[in-house]
């Protein structure tokens, strides 16, 4: 199988505030062609370092892409480093000089001497024209495949890749297609998912499977298959996805990267039902998650942030007896919060969270991480609640609470008959 490597050039990409985002575009485009990216390297503007890394990459991997370092300044060293790496001469290209002069004339700009370094071509390389900038790219054959020099500015890179690189790659590649499916799971940890799923995914090497803990309480299984046609690749991922879903049950909440909040919204919208939330320790995170995607107003009415006990009592109708006898963090309070908010806001469903996010406030019977989720469907049975114990710091406990509250609502929606 053809493979690729990406080398991003630029000292600014080694600072604390910028990432090499160009590689995401390249990776996506290459994946569509069935070419996986097997390594990314980010390097400073230093010729010796660049030359050594380009030489290593070209020995190791058939397709090597560099991004950046094609500009007119002294920091732009990719072309000279590539020449050194491959032991190739650099030639000034008279046609390129004329083109560049014309470009500057047309824009009524003065060309500085530095710009001439942009007309130096690796021996035997092909120019890759740049319709939106002065830095041309280069396609240079290597013993194992090709070294492709691309500019750093995303607009220039995208256009050059799509117009110049893609056609050349398609000529070279066997006609393979890739399909990826992502199973999203809630409530099982990574090792538990692995021990359940491994017996199934280990029997096949295509699709390849990887497991990823993406957030507290959330794990993803990525299945990537290749085949001669897109349909063939899809059939392979779908088959394994079905087997895994059967094994993992309702823990799988999405097969196409939808968030848990989106899934819940989808179920509510289908049923034309509405939702209100009551939050204590999460302080608004549940509402924030539900309204992350546009269109939530179809089903989300709003809620009450009942951080203080007085708000639980006055705005949600949690009884003084309940608060006194069981405490604000209790199954009974969670149930009364859910019932109260759905009644007051006139929603079909109510979800409540009350817990101890820490670091202070824990006790022997209710340690930090103890969280109760209350759920009610006004057309159904009385409110019920579920007790959780989450680990981690305050942030993690709050995020876990939101995820599991959404999941409890999802399970209740799935279990409740549509009216």
Q: Per CB under 8 A, which of residues 225..264 are in contact with a second copy?
A: none
Report the distance separating Cα 238 and Cα 224, nearest Å. Answer: 10
Which residues lie closer than 8 Å to 359 by C-beta, 6 or more apart? 368, 393, 394
Report the distance separating Cα 337 and Cα 113, nearest Å. Answer: 72
Residue 97 is encoded by which pair of tokens? 């000089």
Minimal distance, residue 90 CB to a second copy, in Å: 19
Q: For residues 173-192, which are near a second copy according to CB under 8 A?
A: 180, 189-192
Report the distance separating Cα 197 and Cα 244, nearest Å. Answer: 6
Q: Please, are residues 8 and 22 in contact by the beta-carbon 8 Å criterion?
A: yes
Q: Please, are residues 4 and 62 in contact by the beta-carbon 8 Å criterion?
A: yes
Stretch binding a second copy (CB under 8 A), from 86-94, 138-146, 163-171, 273-281: 273-281
Query: Site for a second copy (CB under 8 A): which residue of 90, 166, 301, 411?
Result: 301
Query: Site for a second copy (CB under 8 A): which residue of 166, 211, 386, 411?
Result: 211
Q: Is 1 a residue that touches a second copy (CB under 8 A)? A: no
Q: Which helix (H) or strand (E) holds 401?
A: helix 394-415
Strands 126-128 and 4-9, by their bridges, are unpaired
Q: Is 48 a residue that touches a second copy (CB under 8 A)? A: no
Is the Cβ of residue 13 or residue 157 nearer to a second copy in the bound state? 13
Query: Site for a second copy (CB under 8 A): which residue of 288, 381, 414, 415?
Result: 288
Is the Cβ of residue 124 or residue 189 nearer to a second copy in the bound state? 189
Report the distance separating Cα 231 and Cα 239, nearest Å. Answer: 12
Q: Is 364 a residue that touches a second copy (CB under 8 A)? A: no
417 DSSP 8-state letter: P
Stretch binding a second copy (CB under 8 A), from 229-237, 331-339, 385-393, 404-412: 385-393
Task: To the nearest 10°, report the CA torsion of 314, 316, 319, 322.
Answer: -130
User: Other C-beta atoms within 10 Å of 110: how many?
Assistant: 8
Report the distance separating Cα 403 and Cα 218, nearest Å. Answer: 8
Query: Site for a second copy (CB under 8 A): which residue of 206, 325, 391, 414?
Result: 391
Is the Cβ of residue 19 or residue 414 nearer to a second copy in the bound state? 19
Strand order in the sheet with 349-355: 275-279, 349-355, 370-377, 384-389
Residue 89 is encoded by which pair of tokens? 């001469």
Minimal distance, residue 73 CB to a second copy, in Å: 4
Query: Site for a second copy (CB under 8 A): which residue of 123, 155, 381, 415?
Result: 155
Interface size with a second copy, residues (CB under 8 A): 104
* Helix, strand, or coil (residue 310): helix
256 DSSP 8-state letter: B
Q: For residues 64-83, which are near a second copy according to CB under 8 A?
A: 71-75
Q: Is 302 a residue that touches a second copy (CB under 8 A)? A: yes
Q: For residues 9-38, which are near a second copy according to CB under 8 A?
A: 10-17, 19-21, 23-24, 27-28, 31, 36-38
Burial call 296-316: b when 16+ CB within 10 Å, e when fewer: beebbbebbbbeebeebbebb
Minimal distance, residue 36 CB to a second copy, in Å: 7
Q: For residues 76-135, which are near a second copy according to CB under 8 A?
A: 107-109, 112, 114-115, 132-133
Q: Is 343 a residue that touches a second copy (CB under 8 A)? A: no
Residue 56 is encoded by which pair of tokens? 């290593």
Is the Cβ of residue 281 or residue 412 nearer to a second copy in the bound state? 281
Stretch binding a second copy (CB under 8 A), from 6-14, 141-149, 166-174, 378-386: 6-14
Q: Is 315 a residue that touches a second copy (CB under 8 A)? A: yes
Q: Please, are residues 200 and 243 in contact by the beta-carbon 8 Å criterion?
A: yes
Minimal distance, residue 286 CB to a second copy, in Å: 7
């Amino acid at each position: 199988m053809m493979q690729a490597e990406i080398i991003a050039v630029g000292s600014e990409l080694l600072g604390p505030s910028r990432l090499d985002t160009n590689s995401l575009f390249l990776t996506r485009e290459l994946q569509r062609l069935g070419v996986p990216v097997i390594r990314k390297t980010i390097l400073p503007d230093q010729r010796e370092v660049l030359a050594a890394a380009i030489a290593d990459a070209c020995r190791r991997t058939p397709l090597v892409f560099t991004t950046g370092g094609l500009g007119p300044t002294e920091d732009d060293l990719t072309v000279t480093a590539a020449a050194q790496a491959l032991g190739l001469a650099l030639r000034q290209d008279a046609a390129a000089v004329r083109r560049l002069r014309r470009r500057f004339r047309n824009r009524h700009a003065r060309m500085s001497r530095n710009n001439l370094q942009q007309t130096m071509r690796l021996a035997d390389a092909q120019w890759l024209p740049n319709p939106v900038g002065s830095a041309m790219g280069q396609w240079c054959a290597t013993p194992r495949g090709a070294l492709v020099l691309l500019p750093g500015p995303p607009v220039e890179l995208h256009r050059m890749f799509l117009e110049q690189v893609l056609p050349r790659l398609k000529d070279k590649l066997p006609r393979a297609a890739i399909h990826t499916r992502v199973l999203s799971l809630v409530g099982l940890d990574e090792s538990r998912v692995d021990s359940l799923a491994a017996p199934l995914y280990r029997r096949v090497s295509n699709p390849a499977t990887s497991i990823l803990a993406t957030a507290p309480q959330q794990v993803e299984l990525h299945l990537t298959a290749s085949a001669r046609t897109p349909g063939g690749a899809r059939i392979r991922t779908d088959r394994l996805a079905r087997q895994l879903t059967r094994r993992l049950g309702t823990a799988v909440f999405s097969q196409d990267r939808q968030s848990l909040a989106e899934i819940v919204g989808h179920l509510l919208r289908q049923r034309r039902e509405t939702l209100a939330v009551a939050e204590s320790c999460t302080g608004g995170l549940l509402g924030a998650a539900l309204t992350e995607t546009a269109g939530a107003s179809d089903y989300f009415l709003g809620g009450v942030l009942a951080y203080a006990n007085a708000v639980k009592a006055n705005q949600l109708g949690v009884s003084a007896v309940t608060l006194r006898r069981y405490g604000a963090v209790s199954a009974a309070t969670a149930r009364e919060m859910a019932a109260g908010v759905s009644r007051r806001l006139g929603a079909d469903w109510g979800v409540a969270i009350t817990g101890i996010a820490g670091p202070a406030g824990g006790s022997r019977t209710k340690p930090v991480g103890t969280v109760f989720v209350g759920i009610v469907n006004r057309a159904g049975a009385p409110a019920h609640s579920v007790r959780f114990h989450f680990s981690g710091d305050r942030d993690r406990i709050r995020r876990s609470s939101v995820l599991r509250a959404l999941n409890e609502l999802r399970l209740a929606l799935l279990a409740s008959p549509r009216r």
